[in-house]
């Protein structure tokens, strides 16, 4: 089958299932085994050789009453899969501006360096919200932020903490998404930036991989400024990714932008901060606290649109405006130890959520809410699997095992 550069636009909101019967039977059994135990809603979109061979939905928007079924057009909170859209927009804009990936981020974000050398601490655990211990050999060191480059942000080697409670700096919990927030999004983001400019480091830049949401929040601000001005990340991603690829249902703050909740998969009940079931607003506290638009989380999309982004990277689609050299470099190993490209996670030899059969050339990313995108160039295969596995509560078991089984099944079938 000839590989196409883009997915057929007519398949957007229709169920497609061209799997061989035996493989389809295994797929249905796998989904059924995980529905209501790992997640109440799922949509899987698969592209093989440029053709959509699977775009199917399972489950319910309202798992208790079961009045609203999930469809292939249901929007899911992408969580950290948002990072791929931010990275794509950045590489497009950086190339246009002639910006080196090894340039200090202060070239675009001068405020980041105005603190001067900063002390180190251990950061904060994102789940318990408790401080983490600082390494003994780092207690008396100070880190000059001038040394942090865009490559460090893209490879998670900046020395920044994995997480901090940026949402507390941004202001009180926002009102429900169908209400009026008295604090404008631009004001929330401005408060967040004031904190991001000054947080302590937890390690030296370039010392090793430490997955950091803070780094992608900063990269999102760089995207905004390269595009035009601060707090325009949503517009930049729309202009550089969503519109060129003709993605039909990918956006931030869906309820505020006119999307009915019955088209959106709900996520976790939040009794502590928001005091409500999270539904139609981003699950991630930091993204929600800054107004729903951030470089690390915040986008909602249908599975087919996520697969279309993967297909764009697979064929190095010129519509994304990224140089072929950077396209290739982004999918190649950039770090020692944990295999990472530029923004992308590269398949590991053991324990990968891409399963047993994807090649070592495969690359992808997962999202905390239960989402993932994996691409195997050796098979011309793209798999976007969107679930809301945080619905019964975060850190419940089963999501990793489901992802592995799904990708192994699909690779064997296709």
pLDDT tens track for 333-369:
999 888 999 999 999 999 999 999 999 999 999 999 9
Place of tokens 């689609």: 317
Instruction: Round to whole Å and give the CA distance between 175 and 102.
Output: 40
346 or 126, higher pLDDT: 346
Helical H segments across 278-398, by residue range: 285-289, 303-314, 324-330
Distance CA 97, CA 236 (A): 14
Domains identified in the chain, total number: 2
29 contacts: CB under 8 Å, gap ≥ 6:
none
Task: Give the H or E element holding residue 218.
Answer: helix 213-227
The reply to whether 255 and 220 lie within a common domain is: no
Q: Are residues 42 and 121 in the same domain?
A: no
pLDDT over threshold 70, residue 9: no
Q: What does the pLDDT read at residue 1?
A: 28
**Mean pLDDT, range 181-194, rounded to an integer:** 97
What is residue 382's DSSP assignment? E
Q: ∠176-182-185 over CA atoms, to 5°?
A: 80
Mean pLDDT over 370-386 rounds to 98
> What is the C-alpha separation between 257 and 246, in angstroms, rounded?
18
Of 3 and 366, the one with more pLDDT: 366
281/390 same-domain check: yes
Establish if 3 belongs to a structural domain. Answer: no
Which of residues 205, 238, 271 is at a domain's end? 238
User: Are 247 and 334 found together in one domain?
Assistant: yes
Report pLDDT for 128: 87
Measure the CA–CA gap between 43 and 32, rounded to whole angstroms.
13
CB 414 within 8 A of CB 68: no
- Do 181 and 277 have their domain in common? no
> Three-class SS of residue 363?
strand
Please check whether residue 408 lies inside any domain of the structure: yes
Where is pLDDT greater, at 337 or 9? 337
Average pLDDT over residues 163-182: 96
On the question of pLDDT at 95 being above 80, the answer is yes
For residues 103-109, average pLDDT = 98
Residue 4 resides in a domain = no
Domain containing residue 323: CATH number? 3.40.710.10
Does 278 lie in the same domain as 163? no
Band (pLDDT 50/70/90 cuts) for residue 11 is very low
Question: Average model confidence (pLDDT) for the chain?
Answer: 95
Looking at the fold, whether 334 and 285 belong to one and the same domain comes out as yes
Same domain, 206 and 133: yes
Same domain, 299 and 346: yes
**Domain shared by 353 and 275, yes or no:** yes
Query: Quick one: pLDDT at residue 284?
Result: 98
**In a shared domain, residues 39 and 123:** no
Q: Domain for residue 2, yes or no?
A: no
Domain residues for the domain of 100 are 84-238
**pTM for this one?**
0.96
Half-sphere exposure of 316 toward its Cβ, with a 13 Å CA cutoff? Answer: 11
Confidence band for 13, pLDDT divided at 50, 70 and 90: low
* CB atoms near residue 341 (< 10 Å): 19
């Amino acid at each position: 089958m000839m590989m196409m550069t883009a997915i057929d636009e007519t398949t957007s909101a229709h169920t497609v299932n061209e799997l061989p019967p035996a493989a389809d039977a295994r797929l249905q059994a796998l989904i059924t085994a995980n529905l209501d135990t790992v997640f109440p809603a799922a949509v899987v979109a698969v592209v093989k050789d440029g053709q959509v061979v699977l775009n199917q939905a399972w489950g319910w928007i309202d798992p208790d009453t079961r009045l609203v079924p999930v469809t292939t057009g249901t929007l899911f909170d992408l969580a950290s899969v948002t990072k791929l859209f931010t990275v794509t927009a950045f590489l497009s804009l950086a190339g246009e501006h002639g910006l080196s990936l090894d340039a200090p981020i202060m070239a675009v974000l001068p405020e980041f360096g105005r603190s001067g050398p900063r002390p180190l601490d251990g950061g904060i655990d994102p789940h318990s919200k408790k401080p983490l211990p600082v390494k003994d050999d780092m207690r008396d060191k100070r880190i000059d932020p001038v040394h942090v480059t865009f490559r460090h942000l893209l490879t998670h080697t900046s020395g920044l903490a994995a997480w901090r409670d940026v949402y507390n700096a941004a202001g009180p919990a926002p009102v429900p998404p169908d209400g009026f927030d008295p604090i404008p999004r631009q004001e929330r983001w401005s408060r967040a930036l004031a904190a991001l400019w000054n947080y302590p480091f937890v390690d030296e830049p370039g010392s090793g991989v430490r997955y950091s949401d803070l780094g992608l929040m900063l990269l999102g601000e760089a995207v905004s400024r390269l595009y035009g001005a601060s707090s325009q990340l949503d517009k930049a991603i729309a202009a550089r990714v969503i519109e060129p690829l003709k993605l039909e249902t990918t956006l931030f703050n869906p309820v505020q932008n006119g999307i009915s909740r019955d088209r959106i998969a709900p996520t976790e009940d939040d009794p502590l901060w928001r005091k409500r079931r999270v539904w139609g607003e981003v699950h991630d506290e930091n993204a929600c606290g800054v107004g729903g638009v951030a470089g690390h989380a915040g986008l909602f999309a249908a599975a087919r649109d996520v697969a279309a982004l993967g297909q764009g990277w697979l064929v190095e689609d010129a519509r994304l405006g990224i140089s072929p050299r950077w396209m290739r470099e982004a999918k190649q190993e950039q770090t020692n130890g944990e295999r990472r490209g530029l923004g992308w996670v590269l398949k590991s030899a053991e324990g990968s959520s891409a399963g047993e059969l994807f090649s070592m050339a495969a690359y992808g990313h997962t999202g905390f809410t239960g989402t993932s995108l994996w691409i195997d160039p050796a098979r011309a295969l793209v798999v976007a699997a969107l679930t809301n596995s945080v619905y019964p509560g975060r850190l419940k078991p089963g999501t990793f095992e489901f992802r592995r089984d799904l990708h192994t099944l699909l690779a064997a079938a296709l």
